[in-house]
């Protein structure tokens, strides 16, 4: 890693007054009309038009307004709510300025100086989307243009999210604010009688650092021509766009839909009765992970959420009437829940049995791919580039699973970091994580395990689309490549890594 250049004086976000701003709830997007469906022209489906704009927002009462880029001029953008098998169109319109306000590195692949500075393409993360609507990183468009995507939503109820994916500048477009939630609902979910309406809260977490004037700070390397830095960690965690917000709740169950849309931060989240990072961690129930419901609700006190990951939680405030509950990590308090006093009738249920999930048998896999995650010098001699299986973005496609076949992908992490690895379009199951001896592997290429496979948490037994791949560990997932044939991408969801070659195309071949 290269040394970051001397940082300017930044706003001390830790010193900001706590719990003075109410938690904003993103608007729910409204369709602007109906259009004939792409799959069945006889039927009409909702048509949304969402415009990316520059805007200003106050992230804290005591700060100057911050410039953001957002979908419909908000960050998070409007929440799109739809139902499984209810297809929609979204016209994504770019009305952003033509100059970027964050430091572009023109030596990164796809961000060369002859490319327009401001380019966008929208990906629906977790969506079963045909390749032409999936937001391929090179399918970007510029200010004044738009792209219309068709989302069939042929999948189970889940928390997805949409965000920018433009080649070589995804990390900057994300830091600027281009992200939003996308909730798919279905009848199975309706029957569970979960808390809904005001009792279902989207919680979109991301971290940012700020200049003294309230503008977003993004660090640069010491070298003016290659400003890319390997990771972005902000000093403050924002929830739905506010620092240290509060939310008034009733003493009853709430459903909390978490998304970590940070560029690089993993969060270790707990709920506590006091506003300190060491106070008691209260028990919550996790009912869903990225691709929908778990088979059984899982009780826990710690939620680990990497970049791109989601979690669906039920938190019961009924025994905290008249008190406060805090969401915290192990380094900072994040937000406050003010629980009203008095009795509350809670008609919702907390089912223990959720959607059945059959584990994909290992023997159904037609092949296992061993794929390394490793640090290299890049072709420009840059100090650090991280590659997937030693390959750059523009090298020939090597992962070409056959449509409807099942494979095991075995991620061998040779770096010192955890990486959240995401595959587009498919859902998968985590098989196991097993530690190995990195130095023996590096010297001899031999795989020597240093222990048995770690047992998985109940919350890791659900359907995923992003998986945490820990250092010196082999993480195996099992994937059925169903739904659509065509070209997609898989990548690390630490966006600085993704932008610097830690992303590869894969092709699902029809035969
Ligand atoms: Cu959430 Cu390819 O990304
Ligand atoms: Cu990474």
What is the per-residue pLDDT for 172? 98
| Whether the predicted pLDDT of 277 surpasses 50 | yes
State the distance from the centre of ligand 2 to the C-alpha of 502, rounded, in angstroms: 7
* pLDDT (tens digit per residue) in 385-417: 889 999 999 999 999 999 999 999 999 999 989
Note the ligand closest to the C-alpha atom of 179: 1
* pLDDT (tens digit per residue) in 35-48: 999 888 899 999 99
Q: Which residues pair with 150 in a beta bridge?
A: 89
- Nearest-atom number in ligand 1 for the CA of 424 is 2
Mean pLDDT of 120-144: 98
CA–CA distance from 503 to each of 202, 415, 463 (Å)?
A: 29, 16, 22
Q: Strands of 2-115 (E only): list them.
A: 21-22, 33-36, 44-57, 66-71, 80-83, 88-94
Q: How confident is the model at residue 285 (pLDDT cuts 50, 70, 90)?
A: very high
| Whether the predicted pLDDT of 26 surpasses 80 | yes
Give nearest CA residue, ligand 1 atom 1: 125
What is the per-residue pLDDT for 205? 98
Q: What distance in Å separates the CA atoms of residue 506 and residue 510, rounded to the nearest whole number?
A: 13
Task: Express as a percent the part of the chain with pLDDT over 90.
Answer: 91
Indicate whether residue 171 lines ligand 1 (CB < 6 A): no
Question: Quick one: tokens of 51?
Answer: 């415009």
State the distance from the centre of ligand 2 to the C-alpha of 309, rounded, in angstroms: 14
Mean pLDDT of 375-380: 70
Mean pLDDT of 11-16: 97
- Nearest-atom number in ligand 1 for the CA of 491 is 2
| Whether the predicted pLDDT of 382 surpasses 80 | no
- Nearest-atom number in ligand 1 for the CA of 137 is 2
What is the per-residue pLDDT for 342? 82
| Whether the predicted pLDDT of 313 surpasses 70 | yes
What is the per-residue pLDDT for 230? 92
* pLDDT (tens digit per residue) in 421-461: 999 999 999 999 999 999 999 899 899 999 999 989 999 99
Q: What distance in Å separates the CA atoms of residue 375 and residue 117, rounded to the nearest whole number?
A: 28
What is the per-residue pLDDT for 4? 52
What is the per-residue pLDDT for 2? 47
> How many CA atoms lie less than 13 Å away from 61 in the CB half-sphere?
12
* pLDDT (tens digit per residue) in 157-215: 999 999 999 999 999 999 999 999 999 999 999 999 999 999 999 999 999 999 999 99
* pLDDT (tens digit per residue) in 323-340: 999 999 999 999 999 999
Mean pLDDT of 340-356: 90
Indicate whether residue 125 lines ligand 1 (CB < 6 A): yes
What is the per-residue pLDDT for 380? 61
Mean pLDDT of 283-301: 97
Q: How confident is the model at residue 364 (pLDDT cuts 50, 70, 90)?
A: very high
| Whether the predicted pLDDT of 16 surpasses 50 | yes
Mean pLDDT of 144-154: 97
Averaged pLDDT score across all residues of the chain: 95
State the distance from the centre of ligand 1 to the C-alpha of 446, rounded, in angstroms: 32
Indicate whether residue 427 lines ligand 1 (CB < 6 A): no
What is the per-residue pLDDT for 6? 63
Rg value, the chain, Cα? 22
| Whether the predicted pLDDT of 145 surpasses 70 | yes
CA–CA distance from 181 to each of 144, 228, 281, 448 (Å)?
A: 24, 28, 27, 42
176-180, 224-228, 251-255, 369-373: least confident range: 224-228
> How many CA atoms lie less than 13 Å away from 319 in the CB half-sphere?
7
* pLDDT (tens digit per residue) in 50-81: 999 999 999 999 999 999 999 999 999 999 99
Mean pLDDT of 248-262: 97
What is the per-residue pLDDT for 378? 62
What is the per-residue pLDDT for 1? 46
| Whether the predicted pLDDT of 152 surpasses 50 | yes
Segment holding 355, helix H or strand E: none
Biggest alpha carbon distance in the chain? 66
| Whether the predicted pLDDT of 9 surpasses 90 | yes
Give nearest CA residue, ligand 1 atom 3: 125
pTM of the shown model: 0.96
């Amino acid at each position: 890693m290269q040394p970051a250049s001397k940082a300017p004086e930044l706003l001390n976000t830790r010193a900001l007054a706590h719990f003075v701003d109410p938690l904003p709830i993103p608007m729910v997007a409204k369709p602007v009309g109906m259009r004939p469906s792409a799959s069945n022209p006889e039927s009409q489906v909702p048509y949304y038009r969402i415009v990316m704009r520059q805007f200003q927002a106050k992230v804290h009462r005591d700060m100057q307004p911050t410039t953001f880029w957002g979908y419909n001029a908000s960050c998070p953008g409007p929440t799109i709510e739809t139902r499984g098998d209810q297809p929609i169109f979204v016209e994504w319109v770019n009305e952003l300025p033509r100059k970027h306000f964050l430091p572009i590195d023109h030596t990164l692949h796809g961000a060369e100086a002859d490319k327009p500075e401001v380019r966008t393409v929208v990906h629906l993360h977790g969506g079963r989307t045909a390749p032409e609507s999936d937001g391929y990183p090179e399918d970007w468009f510029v200010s004044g243009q738009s792209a219309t995507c068709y989302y069939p939503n042929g999948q189970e109820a889940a928390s997805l999210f949409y965000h920018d994916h433009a080649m070589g500048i995804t990390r900057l477009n994300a830091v600027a604010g281009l992200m939003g939630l996308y909730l798919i609902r279905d009848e199975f979910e309706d029957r569970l009688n979960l808390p809904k309406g005001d009792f279902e809260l989207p919680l979109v977490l991301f971290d940012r650092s700020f200049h003294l004037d309230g503008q977003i700070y993004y660090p640069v390397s010491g070298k003016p021509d290659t400003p890319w830095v390997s990771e972005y960690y902000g000093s403050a965690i924002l929830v739905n766009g506010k620092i240290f917000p509060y939310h008034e709740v009733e003493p009853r169950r709430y459903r909390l839909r978490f998304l970590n849309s940070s560029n690089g931060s993993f969060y270790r989240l707990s709920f506590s009765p006091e506003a300190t990072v060491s106070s008691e961690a209260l028990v919550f129930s996790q009912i869903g992970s990225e691709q929908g419901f778990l088979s059984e609700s899982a009780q826990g006190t710690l939620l680990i959420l990497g970049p791109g990951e989601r979690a669906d939680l039920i938190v019961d405030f009924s025994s905290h009437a008249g008190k406060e509950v805090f969401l915290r990590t192990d380094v900072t308090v994040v937000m406050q829940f003010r629980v009203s006093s008095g009795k509350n009738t809670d008609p919702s249920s907390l089912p223990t049995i959720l959607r059945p999930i059959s584990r994909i048998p290992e023997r159904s896999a037609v092949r296992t791919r061993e794929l390394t995650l490793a640090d290299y010098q890049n072709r420009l001699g840059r100090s650090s580039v991280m590659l997937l299986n030693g390959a750059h973005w523009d090298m020939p496609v090597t992962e070409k699973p056959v449509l409807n076949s099942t494979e095991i992908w075995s991620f061998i992490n040779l770096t010192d970091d955890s990486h959240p690895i995401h595959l587009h379009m498919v859902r998968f199951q985590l098989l196991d994580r097993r530690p190995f001896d990195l130095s023996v592997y590096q010297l001899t290429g031999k795989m020597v395990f240093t222990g048995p496979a770690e047992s998985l948490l109940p919350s890791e037994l659900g359907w995923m689309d992003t998986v945490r791949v820990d250092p010196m560990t082999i993480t195996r997932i099992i994937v059925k490549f169903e739904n659509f044939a065509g070209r997609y991408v898989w990548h690390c969801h630490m966006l600085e890594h993704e932008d610097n070659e830690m992303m590869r195309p894969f092709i699902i071949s029809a035969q």
